[in-house]
Amino acid sequence: MVSRVIPVDPFDLVIFGGTGDLARRKILPGLFRRYCSGQMPADARIIGAARSDLDADGYRQLVRDAIDEFGGKTTCNDVDAFLANLDYVTVDARGDQGWEELAGKMRPGVIHAHYFSVGPGLFGDIAERLNRFGIAHDDSRVVVEKPFGRDLASAKELNASLAAQFDESQIYRIDHYLGKETVQNLMALRFGNLLFEPLWNAQYIDHIQITVAETVGVGGRGAYYDKSGAMRDMVQNHLMQLLCLIAMEPPSKFEPDSVRDEKLKVIRALQPLEPHEIVRGQYEANDTQSGYREDAENDRSSTESYIALKVALANWRWSGVPFYLRTGKRLSARSSEIAVVFKKMPHSIFEESDNEQANILAIQLQPNEGMTLDVTIKEPGPGGMRLVHVPLDMTFAEALGEDADAPDAYERLIMDVIRGNQTLFMRGDEVEAAWRWTDPIISGWQARNDVPKTYDIGSSGPMDAHMLLHRDGRKWRDIKQ
């Protein structure tokens, strides 16, 4: 199998916050890899825009260093040719400096995209100046990052400040989970195979588990994280998107609004949560490693670094099927997985019915992308009809060879911006609906002065999270890489 790289049209991409962490770690190395793959045309241009007083050469050096540090695996040595496409302008997002210069740099006749790799507090200022200085036009695209607000009210404000300047069809809200190859594969799996869809409902599915486990702590970004917590940082966006893709009805077409309409219906079907359906946790220091409170530099913090939820969707397809969601820092392994646990057989013809277990379809999102389907077979040998449960294993790297070496989520998403394809980006109403469900959960904790349970570093989370499933006669899957 040979993957096809189709070059995108020539573009001018302005990266506001072009010297910042996200730009250096993800956006610029990602663009370099797309350049090396032949997808980014030779005459595409990237213009860094930030407060720092740099010239184009200074910026090229900064980008060269970023590629050295974060460029990852590429066989391409053509850094100089890539850097030649870079330019830089010093802009003041809240003042007038630099904007006319930027306007003068934009080439007519090519695609214009503006990446707001800055805090949400600057979205409105930059959007307004892009119009006031005549830089934006009807075809310009703007790309914004999470956090898209911290509650419904702030998300509405952000949406309004962007809508005052741009049409919704020009706004690309990034959730980088949607750019992950296996996450897109969820749609291919569900809607490209006849096999699963007839079983994909409350009649055959017992429950679904969604796990996004990380081994990293919050050290280094504690100040941001402590105001956010796992619910805002991961659930409201990434886990919600995974839930949508697993639970949505088939869209009539794989195109932006058909897909996003269906996702929105899932979010709107989410039932409010009761306190006993939520477990919050905080990792605790041990002899050698610091705990959450030290990492966050807040010794009284009640922010959660772990959360587990039992979620229900009030619709025909999923009535009575619990979705168990969990995510946390400093857990035993870095592993993201969606497990679809089917119901047990209605009747057993075998004597050893104890050995019969449910089929489980486990979709491993990272780090080793693949799928396993647990099935029951006969234990080999002459000892009668004994049953064993074995996984049918498909690691995408083995099945697809080099083609499994997927581009990083950001690479895919930036190319989609240039192609003008919004399918993998969140629409304003989706984000607002997600906050509408999240807000009362968070305000409930505040009203109750809820304090997270502690958990050990390297564990699978607090004991109470196990009880959440145990009470229902179920069990979390092991977190393993």
Question: Contact positions toward ligand BG6, by CB under 6 A?
Answer: 214, 233
Calpha distance 136→296 (Å, rounded): 40
Choose among 439, 369, 371: nearest CA to 181: 369
Element (H, E) at 209: strand 205-213
Tokens standing for residue 222? 């504690």
CB of residue 94 vs ligand BG6: minimum separation in angstroms? 25
Least distance (Å) from ligand BG6 to the CB of residue 214?
A: 5
| 398 C-beta neighbours (distance < 10 Å), count | 11
Among 325, 9, 342, which Cα is nearest to 207's?
Answer: 342
Which residue is listed with tokens 């005052």? 164
State the pairing for strand pair 323-328/205-213: parallel
| Closest distance to ligand BG6 from the beta carbon of 121 (Å) | 17
Least distance (Å) from ligand BG6 to the CB of residue 461? 16
CA distances from 279 to 116, 282, 463 (A): 34, 10, 9
> Which lies closer to ligand BG6 via its Cβ, residue 206 or residue 214?
214
Taking the complex as a whole, the smallest distance from the CB of residue 424 to ligand BG6 amounts, in Å, to 14
Nearer to ligand BG6, 233 or 411 (CB): 233
User: Collapsing DSSP states into helix, strand and coil, what is residue 376?
Assistant: strand
The first and second tokens of residue 144, run together, are 């914004």
Q: Report which of 143, 426, 22, 66 is spatially closest to residue 263, judged by C-alpha positions.
A: 426
Token pair in block for residue 225: 């994280």
Task: State how far Cα 465 lies from the chain centre.
Answer: 23
Residue nearest to ligand BG6 (CB): 233
Angle between helices 123-132 and 152-163 (to 10 degrees): 10
Of 211 and 359, the one with the shorter C-beta distance to ligand BG6 is 211
Q: How far apart are the first and last CA of the chain?
A: 27
Q: Which of 112, 176, 207, 238 is catalytic?
A: 238
In three-state secondary structure terms, 324 is strand
Please tell me the distance from the alpha carbon of residue 439 to that of residue 151, in angstroms, as a whole number. 6
Least Å from the CB of residue 467 to ligand BG6: 26
Strands of the 335-342 sheet, one edge to the other: 387-395, 370-378, 360-366, 335-342, 205-213, 323-328, 306-311, 278-284, 453-456
CB nearer to ligand BG6: pick between 70 and 196:
70
Nearer to ligand BG6, 130 or 365 (CB): 365
Q: Is 470 a catalytic residue?
A: no
Q: Which two tokens stand for residue 413?
A: 């998403």
Considering the complex, state which of residue 233 and residue 374 has its C-beta at the smaller distance from ligand BG6: 233
Residue closer to ligand BG6 by CB (options 235, 266) is: 235
Of 55, 54, 77, 58, the residue nearest 67 (C-alpha): 77
Among residues 171 and 178, whose Cβ is nearest to ligand BG6? 178
- What minimum distance in Å lies between the beta carbon of 355 and ligand BG6? 36
112, 114, 140, 185, 414 from 109: Cα distances, Å: 9, 16, 11, 35, 19
Check if the beta carbon of residue 269 is closer than 8 Å to that of residue 249.
no
CB of 216 to ligand BG6, least distance (A): 6
184's tokens: 């897109």
Q: How far is the CB of 408 from ligand BG6 (least distance, A)?
A: 9
User: Whole-angstrom Cα distance, residue 451 to residue 447?
Assistant: 11
Q: Which is nearer to ligand BG6, 130 or 178 (CB)?
A: 178
Dmax over CA atoms of the chain, in Å, equals 83
Gap between the Cα atoms of 12 and 106, Å rounded: 7
Two structure tokens written together for 301: 């913090």
Residues carrying an active site annotation: 238
